[in-house]
Structure 1
Protein backbone atom coordinates (compact mmCIF):
# COMPACT_ATOMS: atom_id res chain seq x y z
CA UNK A 1 0.00 0.00 0.00
CA UNK A 2 1.17 3.47 -0.83
CA UNK A 3 1.99 5.53 2.24
CA UNK A 4 0.54 8.97 2.84
CA UNK A 5 0.49 11.53 5.59
CA UNK A 6 -3.19 11.57 6.54
CA UNK A 7 -6.64 10.20 5.91
CA UNK A 8 -9.94 12.02 6.26
CA UNK A 9 -13.45 10.59 6.42
CA UNK A 10 -17.03 11.79 6.62
CA UNK A 11 -20.09 9.71 7.47
CA UNK A 12 -23.59 10.83 6.59
CA UNK A 13 -26.90 9.36 5.47
CA UNK A 14 -27.59 8.71 1.79
CA UNK A 15 -25.69 8.51 -1.45
CA UNK A 16 -26.65 11.98 -2.69
CA UNK A 17 -25.16 13.64 0.39
CA UNK A 18 -21.97 11.60 0.34
CA UNK A 19 -21.52 12.39 -3.36
CA UNK A 20 -21.87 16.09 -2.58
CA UNK A 21 -19.33 15.74 0.23
CA UNK A 22 -16.86 13.82 -1.94
CA UNK A 23 -17.15 16.32 -4.77
CA UNK A 24 -16.61 19.27 -2.45
CA UNK A 25 -13.69 17.54 -0.72
CA UNK A 26 -11.86 16.75 -3.94
CA UNK A 27 -12.43 20.24 -5.37
CA UNK A 28 -11.37 22.07 -2.21
CA UNK A 29 -8.06 20.38 -1.50
CA UNK A 30 -5.32 18.29 -3.05
CA UNK A 31 -6.65 14.94 -1.83
CA UNK A 32 -7.24 11.61 -3.51
CA UNK A 33 -10.59 9.90 -3.16
CA UNK A 34 -9.87 6.48 -1.67
CA UNK A 35 -13.37 5.08 -1.64
CA UNK A 36 -16.59 4.73 0.25
CA UNK A 37 -18.47 2.30 2.45
CA UNK A 38 -22.22 1.84 2.36
CA UNK A 39 -23.20 0.40 5.71
CA UNK A 40 -26.57 -0.73 7.00
CA UNK A 41 -29.55 1.62 7.10
CA UNK A 42 -28.14 4.02 4.52
CA UNK A 43 -25.14 5.36 6.38
CA UNK A 44 -22.29 6.01 3.97
CA UNK A 45 -18.70 7.02 4.66
CA UNK A 46 -16.29 8.59 2.18
CA UNK A 47 -12.52 8.43 2.64
CA UNK A 48 -9.81 10.69 1.21
CA UNK A 49 -6.05 10.72 1.61
CA UNK A 50 -3.38 13.38 1.28
CA UNK A 51 -1.28 15.62 3.46
CA UNK A 52 -2.64 16.66 6.85
CA UNK A 53 -3.63 20.21 5.89
CA UNK A 54 -5.36 19.06 2.71
CA UNK A 55 -7.33 16.37 4.57
CA UNK A 56 -8.38 18.89 7.24
CA UNK A 57 -9.56 21.32 4.57
CA UNK A 58 -11.33 18.58 2.62
CA UNK A 59 -13.19 17.29 5.66
CA UNK A 60 -14.23 20.80 6.77
CA UNK A 61 -15.53 21.64 3.29
CA UNK A 62 -17.25 18.25 2.93
CA UNK A 63 -19.03 18.66 6.26
CA UNK A 64 -20.17 22.18 5.26
CA UNK A 65 -21.45 20.89 1.90
CA UNK A 66 -23.59 18.21 3.54
CA UNK A 67 -24.93 20.62 6.15
CA UNK A 68 -25.74 23.18 3.42
CA UNK A 69 -28.04 20.57 1.88
CA UNK A 70 -29.86 20.22 5.19
CA UNK A 71 -28.44 16.85 6.23
CA UNK A 72 -26.52 15.89 9.33
CA UNK A 73 -22.95 14.64 9.32
CA UNK A 74 -22.84 11.79 11.81
CA UNK A 75 -19.10 11.75 12.17
CA UNK A 76 -15.92 13.04 10.62
CA UNK A 77 -12.25 12.50 11.30
CA UNK A 78 -8.78 13.41 10.13
CA UNK A 79 -6.03 11.01 11.14
CA UNK A 80 -2.54 12.47 10.70
CA UNK A 81 0.20 9.88 10.25
CA UNK A 82 -2.11 6.86 10.31
CA UNK A 83 -0.62 3.59 11.48
CA UNK A 84 0.48 1.42 8.56
CA UNK A 85 -2.04 -1.29 9.52
CA UNK A 86 -4.95 1.05 8.84
CA UNK A 87 -4.17 0.31 5.22
CA UNK A 88 -5.83 -3.07 5.75
CA UNK A 89 -9.10 -1.32 6.41
CA UNK A 90 -8.73 1.41 3.82
CA UNK A 91 -7.82 -1.03 1.06
CA UNK A 92 -11.08 -2.87 1.63
CA UNK A 93 -13.05 0.26 0.71
CA UNK A 94 -10.80 1.41 -2.11
CA UNK A 95 -12.42 2.33 -5.41
CA UNK A 96 -9.57 0.47 -7.09
CA UNK A 97 -11.11 -2.79 -5.84
CA UNK A 98 -14.32 -1.96 -7.72
CA UNK A 99 -12.69 -1.35 -11.09
CA UNK A 100 -12.41 -4.24 -13.57
CA UNK A 101 -8.89 -5.35 -14.43
Structure 2
Protein backbone atom coordinates (compact mmCIF):
# COMPACT_ATOMS: atom_id res chain seq x y z
CA UNK A 1 0.00 0.00 0.00
CA UNK A 2 2.85 2.35 0.81
CA UNK A 3 4.52 1.63 -2.53
CA UNK A 4 1.29 2.32 -4.40
CA UNK A 5 0.96 5.60 -2.53
CA UNK A 6 4.49 6.67 -3.49
CA UNK A 7 3.95 5.77 -7.16
CA UNK A 8 0.83 7.92 -7.33
CA UNK A 9 2.21 10.90 -5.39
CA UNK A 10 2.69 13.11 -8.44
CA UNK A 11 0.49 11.47 -11.06
CA UNK A 12 -2.87 11.21 -9.31
CA UNK A 13 -3.17 13.68 -6.45
CA UNK A 14 -6.69 12.59 -5.43
CA UNK A 15 -5.87 8.87 -5.17
CA UNK A 16 -2.59 9.59 -3.38
CA UNK A 17 -4.43 11.64 -0.77
CA UNK A 18 -7.04 8.89 -0.33
CA UNK A 19 -4.33 6.26 0.19
CA UNK A 20 -2.56 8.50 2.71
CA UNK A 21 -5.72 8.93 4.77
CA UNK A 22 -6.59 5.23 4.57
CA UNK A 23 -3.07 4.27 5.59
CA UNK A 24 -3.43 6.23 8.86
CA UNK A 25 -6.16 3.81 10.00
CA UNK A 26 -3.93 0.74 9.95
CA UNK A 27 -2.58 -0.62 13.21
CA UNK A 28 1.13 0.15 12.96
CA UNK A 29 4.01 0.58 15.34
CA UNK A 30 4.11 4.11 16.84
CA UNK A 31 7.00 5.45 14.76
CA UNK A 32 5.47 4.12 11.53
CA UNK A 33 2.12 5.60 12.54
CA UNK A 34 3.80 9.00 13.01
CA UNK A 35 5.34 8.78 9.53
CA UNK A 36 1.98 7.99 7.92
CA UNK A 37 0.29 10.83 9.81
CA UNK A 38 3.00 13.29 8.69
CA UNK A 39 2.60 12.19 5.07
CA UNK A 40 -1.19 12.53 5.27
CA UNK A 41 -0.84 16.01 6.82
CA UNK A 42 1.53 17.06 4.03
CA UNK A 43 -0.91 15.77 1.41
CA UNK A 44 -3.77 17.63 3.07
CA UNK A 45 -1.68 20.81 3.28
CA UNK A 46 -0.84 20.65 -0.42
CA UNK A 47 -4.53 20.15 -1.27
CA UNK A 48 -5.44 22.94 1.17
CA UNK A 49 -3.47 25.52 -0.80
CA UNK A 50 -6.17 25.35 -3.44
CA UNK A 51 -9.41 25.48 -1.41
CA UNK A 52 -11.58 24.43 -4.34
CA UNK A 53 -12.68 20.84 -3.81
CA UNK A 54 -12.25 19.67 -7.40
CA UNK A 55 -12.04 16.01 -6.48
CA UNK A 56 -14.03 14.93 -3.41
CA UNK A 57 -12.21 12.17 -1.54
CA UNK A 58 -13.70 8.73 -1.05
CA UNK A 59 -13.10 8.84 2.70
CA UNK A 60 -15.21 8.88 5.85
CA UNK A 61 -13.29 8.76 9.11
CA UNK A 62 -16.37 7.90 11.17
CA UNK A 63 -17.31 4.63 9.44
CA UNK A 64 -15.21 1.52 10.07
CA UNK A 65 -13.81 0.02 6.91
CA UNK A 66 -11.51 -2.69 5.64
CA UNK A 67 -9.01 -2.22 2.85
CA UNK A 68 -9.05 -4.59 -0.12
CA UNK A 69 -5.59 -6.14 -0.42
CA UNK A 70 -5.78 -6.36 -4.21
CA UNK A 71 -6.98 -2.85 -5.09
CA UNK A 72 -6.17 -0.84 -1.92
CA UNK A 73 -9.74 0.46 -1.96
CA UNK A 74 -11.57 0.78 1.36
CA UNK A 75 -15.03 -0.67 1.69
CA UNK A 76 -17.37 -0.38 4.62
CA UNK A 77 -17.52 -3.39 6.87
CA UNK A 78 -20.89 -4.37 8.23
CA UNK A 79 -19.26 -6.51 10.89
CA UNK A 80 -16.17 -5.18 12.60
CA UNK A 81 -14.67 -8.66 13.02
CA UNK A 82 -15.52 -10.12 9.64
CA UNK A 83 -13.33 -12.77 8.10
CA UNK A 84 -10.32 -11.57 6.01
CA UNK A 85 -11.67 -13.58 3.07
CA UNK A 86 -14.55 -11.10 2.90
CA UNK A 87 -12.19 -8.11 2.69
CA UNK A 88 -11.53 -8.59 -1.02
CA UNK A 89 -13.77 -6.85 -3.48
CA UNK A 90 -15.85 -9.27 -5.53
CA UNK A 91 -14.03 -8.41 -8.76
CA UNK A 92 -10.76 -9.74 -7.31
CA UNK A 93 -12.14 -12.95 -5.81
CA UNK A 94 -11.56 -15.97 -8.03
Same fold (TM over 0.5): no
Q: Which has the higher strand share?
A: 1
For normalisation by structure 1, the TM-score amounts to 0.33
For normalisation by structure 2, the TM-score amounts to 0.35
Instruction: Say which one has the larger Rg.
Output: 2
Higher RCO structure (Cα 8 Å, ≥6 apart): 1
